[in-house]
Structure 1
Amino acid sequence: MIDDDARCPCGTGETYGACCGRFHGGRPAPTAELLMRSRFSAFAAGDEAYLLATWHPDTRPPAVGLDPALRWTRLDVHGTAGGGPFEDDGWVDFTAHWRAADGSRGAQRENSRFRRQDGRWYYVDGVPG
């Protein structure tokens, strides 16, 4: 769990409570980018339930299988296409950085696809970058 007064892992500079914490608490993200940022924060917090709840039902796996040896440390958003508050489809290009328990570091770049359904954004799938 992340303290509401701590800086949000997603990199906006806001506190967790004012940023991704509100989405983890049940408020729908208004854009695809904010959903993607909240999903990164869920990875950082180990919140598998949130990751599954925000995964589109057509592509959702039965479990996420979070690796407890990885710590997600930084998110860089490179760009977006669509995904605004009045759109139903969007893409977010990002790099998520991690550190393993053995001290090794790495990054995962992905261009993720999102879809809004019944007023809520969902992660559909992604293409590695």
Structure 2
Amino acid sequence: MKILKEFRDFLMKGNMIDIAIAIIIGGAFQRVIESLVKDVISPVIGLFIAQPDFSNLLIGPVKIGSFIITLISFLLTGLVIFLFVVKTSKKLEEFRGKRGLEIDPKESVETKEVEILRAILEELKKK
């Protein structure tokens, strides 16, 4: 029973829920990118090669058209992730640094209570 409790605690951690949400949104996002490539970009490319649906384009026995569509989807997904996740997180880090929100681990912020407790401890050490 202990292992079930540990497993439940693991699943209920905030990070695990965030990851699950990210996976669901990522799957939906991937479908949007695939539709963009299939329904918008591919027909535009097809105009230039005089073949509206080039997903069945063959070079010998190789289905090169399908590969090109998949490659474009991959590149667009990578580009969007780079722009919206990587660049945004770097900007956020820069913003936090400029606003002084970073905490220096060498600096310790002591409350009044901690100062009083330290003084009491010093007095007790003297006795």
Query: Is this a same-fold pair by TM over 0.5?
Result: no
Task: Tell which has more relative contact order, 1 or 2 (C-alpha 8 A, sep 6+).
Answer: 1
Q: Which has the higher helix share?
A: 2
Between structure 1 and structure 2, the one with the greater Rg is 2
TM-score (norm 2): 0.20
TM-score (norm 1): 0.20
Q: Which has the higher strand share?
A: 1
